[in-house]
Structure formats: structure tokens, C-alpha cells
Amino acid sequence: MEEDPPLTVDRLNQLLLLSALVLLIAVAAVRLSSRSGLPSLLVYLGIGIAIGQDGLGVQFSNTELTQTLGYAALVVILAEGGLSTKWGDIRPSVPAAAVLSTVGVAVSVAVTAAAAHYLVGLSWQASLLMGAVVSSTDAAAVFSVLRRLPLPKRLAGVLEAESGFNDAPVVILVVAFSSHSLTADDWYVLVGEIVLELVIGLVVGLMVGKLGELGLGRVALPSSGLYPIAVMALCVLAYAGGAIAHGSGFLAVYVTALFLGNAKLPHRPAVRGFADGLAWIAQIGLFVLLGLLVTPHDLDDDFWPAIVVGLVLTVVARPLSVMVSMLPFDQRWRDQALLAWAGLRGAVPIVLATIPRVTEVEGSERIFNIVFVLVIVFTLVQGPTLPWLARTLRLSDGEEPVDLDIESAPLERLRGHLLSVAVPRYSKMHGVEVAELRLPPGAAVTLVVREGNSFVPLPTTILRHGDELLVVATDKVRDAAEERLLAVGRGGKLAGWLSGKPRP
């Protein structure tokens, strides 16, 4: 067996040069993908294919390494998704998302597996693997589309929570189907195992999140740059702890990130920005690696089987899983139609398709090729048409007020806090005078930055979109000041007068 060449300084320089060029090309390609409406994963996959053996000739076939790095990338992507998700937005949608991530996945697996067996001719083990692999929506694809597509919170919350929850049961199913053929009695054991792993992952995620909130909320670190590192370390700790405890590490990392992202931690925007950068690197590296792993000239024979399986998945399995899962909930047919079409696939199915290859399941090479083609073709179809469908169904919600972005930095010696407040587009703080904010005693707007110029505001200064405010608040009133600022951002100057809540 030919050994890999040693990693010398010269070889390291070559790898760094290639990696930097790939990153720069990928960053530039984001502009193209954002204009076209295509998820950027297709561009990254294309870069990997162009570099691979059918392109520039780079040889790469290490499936086990790809699976390992894929898991690591998914941890980072899920962490960023949890940190950027507002709990208040998804809380009403969690029950529906939980059912869609379990019952919906089961329906999708059964329908897709039947199609793969009877229409494509795969064995039952390979068919079940196919159904499990493609039944998980991709967090990276869903999060990237939702950031460009303004949907009502009831729908965006279901999609976000589902993409964060459904990786866990699907991974368990793929591992189980890859290890052996299930008998009738094994199904009860498998269902029990899924429930147990989900419970363990949930408990670990909540524990790490709570401990992280208690620690970071009470300790003033010497540098603001340490907070993002600590938060990401806690997310990785949750994944590793959940996996070692024989639970779902993916659910644990998402729950921890969701907990920390909604906790009142210092430098929250900086934490989210750091996580966003890491998630971009993870996505680029993962998709390029997956593009390198595939051999394009081997995909010809599996193109039409991929189209058949993809059509059944998109037109039958996904809508049926949504319809069955939403029976206990009051979801309109228009909402269900969008949920069905928004079941985007991406890196997760391709990474999961490497599991049967590593365990050398019969037909695993064909499963990987079919999944790869399916993801590319149906992402090309679903991604660009999702905004059109939302407009057609009259579900686009672009005028909804956007929450303020508030960053808190502790001032230990002064027993106070500096709140950095950004006034985004659609915020109802636009047009409000500083005095009309009615901040609690002990809090005051001390500085306004507008179009690059800073000034000390008067009580009659009118705030505008794009303004950045510096608010000083004592420890006792920091929470009340944040709540008041958020309320004005959502309801305008009359917030508190018309809501029925007591006024400050």
C-alpha cells in the first residue's frame, strides 16, 4: 500500500496556498449564489469537483476521513444555527418541529425506501439506508435560505427547529441500518434506542448550556475575544459529552447553542459573528471535500435512479410526512405546502451516505452516487423557487419588525454595563425620540453613531434606521433597559401603553 508523503514545510506551504485560494474563490462565489438564489453549497461542491480527479487531477478517496471531518463540520454548523436562533421565535413551533423530526422522518423513510426498492431495484437494506440518509433536512441550507427569505415566524420557527432536531434520529437510523438487517423485534429496540439517545442529548445540552450561562454571565474575562472561544468550546463539549454518554451529540450541541444564544451573555453579537465565520469555513471545507470524494464519470448510471428517488421524496414522501405530522396542529394548507417544499437537502445526506461506505455495506457506492446527484439536482430546483412559492402562497413577511441587536459589555468596577444597540431596517424605533424611549432610572443613551459621525444626543434627538446607540445601565436595571429597548424596537414609542403591560 502506497504511503502518503510526509508533511514537510514545502508541502505545508503548498497546502496553505491551495487552501487560501479555495477559500478566496469560495468567498467570492457567495456573491454569485446570493444573487442567483442558489444555496452556496452547490458552488462549493463544484469547486471540489473541479479540483478532483476529473478536473485538476487531485486524488482523494478517504471516505473515513471525510466522515470524521463531516461530523466535526456539522457540529460547528449546528452550533452556529443554535446561537443565531431566537428562542422566542421558535418556542411556539417546537412541538410541531419535534413531531416532524420524528414521526415525519419515519414516514419519509418508509415511503422513500419503498420507492428505492420497487422502482430502483435496491435491496431492502440499501433502500432503508437510502430513505434514512435523504430524510434529514440540512441545517446549513435551511439557515442560509431563511436568512434571505422573510417568512412568518410560525413557519421559520418550524423549519429552523426541525433542521436542528432531525439530524439526531436520522444518524441513529443510518448507523443501525448500516450495522445489520433489522428483524421485527429489533424495531422496538431501535425506537427505544432513539428515544433514549434523544433524551440523553437533550439533558446534556441543557446542563452544559445552563452551566455555561452561569459561568460566563458572572465572570468578566480579560478580553472580549475570549467569549466567542468559550461559547464554541462549550458547544463542542456538549457534543462530545452527549456522544460519550451514548446520547445524541448533535441534539446536545444544538440545544446548548440555542440556550447560550438566548442567554444574557456579554458580547453576544461578537459571539454570533465568530460562530458565523467558523460555520462558513466548515461549510466550505466540508462541501469541497465532498466534491473531491465523488467521481463524476461514475455518476452517469445513477442519474435517473436519483431523479426517481428524488421525485418520490419531494413530491410524495415529504408532503405526506408534513401532512401526517401537522395533523395535531392548526396549520393551514398553504403553510404545509411551503413546509413540504422547504425540506432542503445538503451536506447532511451526503455525509450520512459515507457511513455505509465506511462499514462496507453492499451497494453503498451506489447509495452515495444517487444521494450526491439527488442533492445537486433538487437543490437546483427547490432553492431558487422557494421565494417564488412563498410569494405565490402570500406567505412572505418582509415588513415584520426586526429585533434590535444589543451587545452587553460588563463594567465590573463601575457596577454597570455598556449596551451597544443597532437599529436595523424595519425596526419601529425609527422616528422615536430619545426621551420617548422611557428608559428606567439608572439607564441613559450617552452616544449615537450615525453615518460614521458620533454625537451626544438630546432628549429630542430622533432615532433613525442604521443608528448605533451606546446605552449605559447599572446592574440593577440592565435587564429592564434591554427589555424596554426591545419593546420599543417591536412596538414603537407607544410600546407599553397599548400592550396592557405596566409602563416603566
169 burial (CB, 10 Å; 0-12 / 13-18 / 19+) is buried
Q: Is 57 left (phi over 0), alpha (psi -120 to 50) or beta?
A: left
Encode burial over 346-360: b for 16+ CB neighbours within 10 A, e otherwise. bbbbbbbbbbbbeee
- How does DSSP assign 441-504, residue by residue? TTEEEEEEEETTEEEPPPTTPBP-TT-EEEEEEEGGGHHHHHHHHHHHHHHGGGTTTSSSSPP-
- pLDDT, position 119: 92
CB 82 within 8 A of CB 261: yes
Specify which residues 447 forms β-bridges with: 470
Question: Cα–Cα distances in Å, from 282 out to 144, 331, 343?
Answer: 14, 35, 21
Specify which residues 417 forms β-bridges with: 410, 473
Encode burial over 67-106: b for 16+ CB neighbours within 10 A, e otherwise. bebbbebbbbbbbbbbbbbeeebbeebeebbbbbbbebbb
Q: pTM of the predicted model, to two decimals?
A: 0.74
308 burial (CB, 10 Å; 0-12 / 13-18 / 19+) is middle
The span from the CA of 395 to the CA of 305, in Å, is 34
- pLDDT, position 420: 83
Residue 90: closest CA among 337, 212, 257: 257
The span from the CA of 117 to the CA of 127, in Å, is 6
Q: How far is CA 361 from the centre of its chain?
A: 30
Tell me the one-letter amino acid at 401: P
- How does DSSP assign 200-230, residue by residue? HHHHHHHHHHHHHHHHHHH---S-TTHHHHH
- pLDDT, position 401: 53
Cell of 166: 432531525
- pLDDT, position 503: 46
Residue 321: closest CA among 137, 178, 154, 73: 137
Per-residue pLDDT of the chain (504 residues; tens, 9 = 90+): 445 566 677 778 888 888 888 888 877 777 666 665 556 777 788 888 888 777 777 777 788 888 888 889 889 988 988 888 888 778 888 888 889 988 999 999 999 999 999 999 888 888 999 999 998 887 767 766 666 666 777 788 888 888 878 888 888 888 888 876 556 566 777 778 888 888 999 999 999 999 998 888 777 677 777 888 999 999 999 999 999 998 888 889 999 999 998 887 777 778 888 888 888 888 888 888 888 888 777 788 888 999 999 999 999 999 999 999 998 887 788 888 888 888 888 778 888 888 888 888 888 888 988 988 998 888 888 877 887 888 888 876 554 555 566 666 666 555 677 888 888 877 888 889 888 888 988 888 888 988 888 899 998 899 998 888 888 888 788 888 888 888 888 888 777 665 444 444
Domains defined for the chain, CATH in brackets = 11-392 (1.20.1530.20), 405-494 (3.30.70.1450)
